[in-house]
Amino acid sequence: RPEATETLVDLLDCGRVTWAMATIQTLCKHQHHAALDDVIAMMDSEYFDASYGFRFTLARGLKDMKHPDAWDALAKLFDRVNGQLAHRLDQEFQTVTADDFMGDDKRFQDWRGRVGLAPKKDSADEDDLAKAKAILNQDGSAAMPMPEKMGLQPSQSAASYTRERRLKPSHYYGIDIHAKRLLFAIDRSGSMRTVINGQTRIQRAKRELITAISGLDDQVEFGILVFDDDVRSWRESLVEASDENKRNAIRFVEYLSAGRSTNTYGVLRKSLDFDPQLEALFLLTDGEPTTGLIVDQSTILLDILRRNETNNITINTIALAVDPLMATFLRNLAEPSNGEFREVK
């Protein structure tokens, strides 16, 4: 009802970011199109630059609006973000069709150009057939086509072109790192002393982490948490992946040794509270929780997933020789945020 929409719109400026996020979710999920301009205006709010979780919620809400004006707004938002959210939007944009623009193909094609995508054709047209014929000579032999120039899409901005190529992807246990602000959390419990093929688990984990850190682009900001019965951070905030910071981080990792028990809940809570701009977490562990405020896996899962509804952090999990029950826990921890799960034997 119009009065319900007006009441919700008033909450967008209530002064509390969590209320604003909840309001955006409600307006967009139920497609209050009359409030679309008010939702789009939140890109200019103080929350937008201050919180990754807010930017993510706004982007998801605009997608849920299912309206051409919302897709146009997402194109503008796309130019203002990077890292994990830019990657997620790019994936989402691949699925958009002219139907999302109410059949307005020209508007759809213009939009694709603004987000850096080539014009999309549903089927071969006469031009396509002419090009196909030109490739073949009359005798059926292939003719050499003229090479196309490489460069920007005509309507793609130089800024978006630069942004797409600015981050050189690093990898961690085969997971691509798209986030610009990320946190590694590594288990150093006593079971990490277990020897497999001549190496302890912690030696293997340290080697993989050092490789990932070495490959980080200098535009990335990162942090490291290590946990056994306690949780310790390498730095108290995210730092730029400069050569010096990467050297210091690698030195820190090299000196890590196995400790005692496994405070999984503690490291997850610290991760969620670490930085409001955090985009992704990479959690490695080799066993079930054994200490901390909560040790029951189901309770940990419910608590962390509920808390992450505000943060919108992509949680990736790496299971190092865990039992099937723990593997299920780690998979369920990753999937709701579209994170990836890796199992290493």
Quick: pLDDT tens for 66-115: 999 999 999 999 999 999 999 999 999 999 999 999 999 999 999 999 99
Phi-psi region at 338: left, alpha or beta (left = phi > 0; alpha = psi -120 to 50): left
- If one counts the domains in the chain, the total is 2
Taking only the tens place, the pLDDT of each residue in 35-53 is 999 999 999 999 999 999 9
pLDDT band at 219 (very low <50, low <70, confident <90, very high): very high
The predicted model gives 212-239 an average pLDDT of 96
Count other C-beta atoms under 10 Å from residue 152's C-beta. 11
More confident residue, 193 or 119: 193
Q: What is the mean pLDDT of the chain?
A: 88
Give pLDDT, residue 159: 40
For 44, the domain range is: 2-114
Q: How confident is the model at residue 127 (pLDDT cuts 50, 70, 90)?
A: low
Q: Which residue stretches of the chain are H helix? A: 2-11, 17-29, 36-40, 46-50, 52-65, 68-78, 83-93, 105-114, 126-135, 158-166, 201-214, 243-254, 264-272, 297-311, 324-334
74 and 179 part of one domain: no
pLDDT band at 167 (very low <50, low <70, confident <90, very high): very low
pLDDT tens digits along 245-273: 999 999 999 999 998 999 999 999 999 99
Angle ∠(119,122,128) on CA atoms, nearest 5:
75
With a cut of 70, say whether residue 147 has pLDDT above it: no
Note the pLDDT of residue 295: 96
Domain assignment present for residue 46? The answer is yes
Position 1 scores a pLDDT of 54
pLDDT at 169: 67
pLDDT band at 121 (very low <50, low <70, confident <90, very high): low
Q: Which of 114, 149, 177 is the last residue of a domain?
A: 114
**Mean pLDDT score, 118-131:** 57
Q: Does residue 89 belong to any structural domain of this protein?
A: yes
Residue 248 is part of a domain; what is its CATH number? 3.40.50.410
> Which pLDDT score, from 0 to 100, does residue 56 have?
98
Q: Average the pLDDT over 126-143 and give the result.
A: 48
Q: Are 31 and 104 within one domain?
A: yes
Query: 55-65: b or e for each residue (b if 16 or more CB lie within 10 Å)?
Result: bbbbbbbbbbb
Query: What is d(CA 67, CA 200) in angstroms, rounded to the nearest whole number?
Result: 54
Distance CA 177, CA 167 (A): 9
- Which of these ranges, 58-62, 111-115, 134-138, has the smallest mean pLDDT? 134-138
Domain co-membership, 81 together with 190 = no
Position 148 scores a pLDDT of 34
Among 114, 132, 158, the domain boundary falls at 114
Rounded average pLDDT over 9-31: 93
Last residue of a domain, one of 48, 79, 114: 114
pLDDT for position 165: 43
Q: Are residues 110 and 174 in the same domain?
A: no
Percent of the chain with pLDDT over 90: 78
